[in-house]
Structure 1
Amino acid sequence: MTYEEMHAIVMEFPGATEGTSYGRPSFKVGDKFFTRLRGEDGSLVLMDVSFDEREMLMEAEPATFHFTAHYKDYPCVLARMKSLHPGSFRNFLERRWRKIAPRAAVKAFDAAKA
């Protein structure tokens, strides 16, 4: 996935805003963390991924999914943007967005999809 593809997918979600974190692109919904691009390795931080799911993802696609010591105690996984499938990225983001977005925004999003 390219940076442009990643950016377009993130901004599809209502309320997504762009900023910076550690000098790299970072995204929020309201005042809540959505995702960010790590400068160290070109990976995206994907939240709300259980520890079991993280282990399964790393085992199934070790070239894409990983984590560092900093993230070991958080329910998240890091995904190398270059090898992450855009559809998978969208699915991870939708899960996170549904958790942090205002209920009215989720309801409107679902109505628009129907």
Structure 2
Amino acid sequence: MISTWAELRDFALSLDLPHVTDAVSWGNPNLKAHGKMWCWWSPYVDAAIFKGSRDEREMLMAADPETFVMHPHYANTGLILVAGGRIDPGWAEARLRQSWRDAAPKRFLKEWDAR
């Protein structure tokens, strides 16, 4: 299980996806993919933040409320918060790969997929 920002950062970078960079937004470290925020750790609650949808977040929270958590700051977004120490690497990898693809320009993905 992934427990901290340092572990999540190292894990995400180990996927060796291109166009991923370290960044700081609103005073907090994060990783960006293709210039867009990709994953980060919440400054409000001990949880990683992944991109998703509200419907998916609600489903995940209903299925496992100890793992998938919420803070009022994120209530109006589709972001998915996963409690530190409960982040499954397999789930995180699939989520990161999908959000990396979602952030990529279409022309880049066409070339990437052709390889």
For the aligned pair, the TM-score class normalised by the smaller chain equals 0.7 to 0.9
Whether contact under 8 Å (1:19, 1:26) holds in the other structure is: yes
1:15-59 residue CA offsets vs partner (Å, 9 max, x unmatched): 111123354430101321111112433311111x22221111111
Structure 1, unaligned runs of 5 or more: none
- The answer for the alignment partner of 1:102 in structure 2 is 105
TM-score normalised by the chain length of structure 2: 0.79
Aligned pairs for 1:21-32 (under 5 A) are 21-32=25-36
Report the more deviating stretch, 90-99 or 15-24.
15-24
**Percent identity, aligned pairs only?**
30
- The answer for the alignment partner of 1:9 in structure 2 is 11
Between the aligned partners of 1:7 and 1:31, the Cα distance in structure 2 is 16
- The answer for the alignment partner of 1:33 in structure 2 is 37
Report the more deviating stretch, 15-24 or 62-71.
15-24
Shift of 1:107: 4.2
Q: State the SS of the aligned residue for 2:32.
A: strand
Using a 3 Å threshold, how does the CA distance of structure 1 residues 106 and 9 change in structure 2: closer, same or farther?
Answer: farther
Structure 2, unaligned runs of 5 or more: none
Report the more deviating stretch, 23-32 or 74-83.
23-32
TM-score normalised by the chain length of structure 1: 0.80
Aligned residue type for 1:28: K
Using a 3 Å threshold, how does the CA distance of structure 1 residues 105 and 2 change in structure 2: closer, same or farther?
Answer: farther
- The answer for the alignment partner of 1:90 in structure 2 is 93
Q: How many residues align?
A: 111
